[in-house]
Amino acid sequence: MVKEKQKIKDTEAILSRNLYLLCAFVTLVTMVMSVIEFFSRGTFFPTHMNLFYLGILAIYSVHKELVRWLGHKKIERQGEYFVYAWILLTIFLYIVNFASKDYYTHLVQGGPSTDLRDISILTLEVLGIFVLTRCLKIIELTIKEKKVKI
């Protein structure tokens, strides 16, 4: 039974690592496409990847916490880099837009662009997933502290 449990832990840890790599790739693609969309001012079609990206991120984040709950000790905190990257990207785009006197919040064809707002919302959603996983960690610690059996 102990050997079987260790095998499950090891398998899930490998899966978590693979999910991290997949999530990192999808994050990079989503960021690049969002930046192109922002700087093109409407000449590229919208990415429409936000829901897909958030789904991948949520699956990775929850799975990583479950692996932690299994007792796998070598869980790295690499997922935080997604949060930091989105926050830095969003701040950078706000600074660029500010310095350009709102140039990038108007479409080439005329009218307002929602790209900066959409990137801001996505960043807040990524931050929300991060906070949720931190809450799961606190719940895990509380359960262990009170020695509650699940």
**How many structural domains are present in the chain?**
1
Q: What is the 3-state secondary structure (H, E, C) of 77-112?
A: CCCHHHHHHHHHHHHHHHHHHHHCCCHHHECCCCCE
Residues of the chain with pLDDT under 50: none
Predicted pLDDT of residue 26: 95
Predicted pLDDT of residue 96: 96
Predicted pLDDT of residue 44: 80
Q: In the beta sheet, which residues pair with residue 106?
A: 112
Residue pLDDT, tens place only, 95-120: 999 999 999 898 888 889 889 999 99
Predicted pLDDT of residue 138: 87
Predicted pLDDT of residue 68: 83
Predicted pLDDT of residue 31: 95
By residue range, what is the domain housing residue 58?
A: 2-146
pTM, 2 dp: 0.84
Predicted pLDDT of residue 74: 64
Predicted pLDDT of residue 146: 79
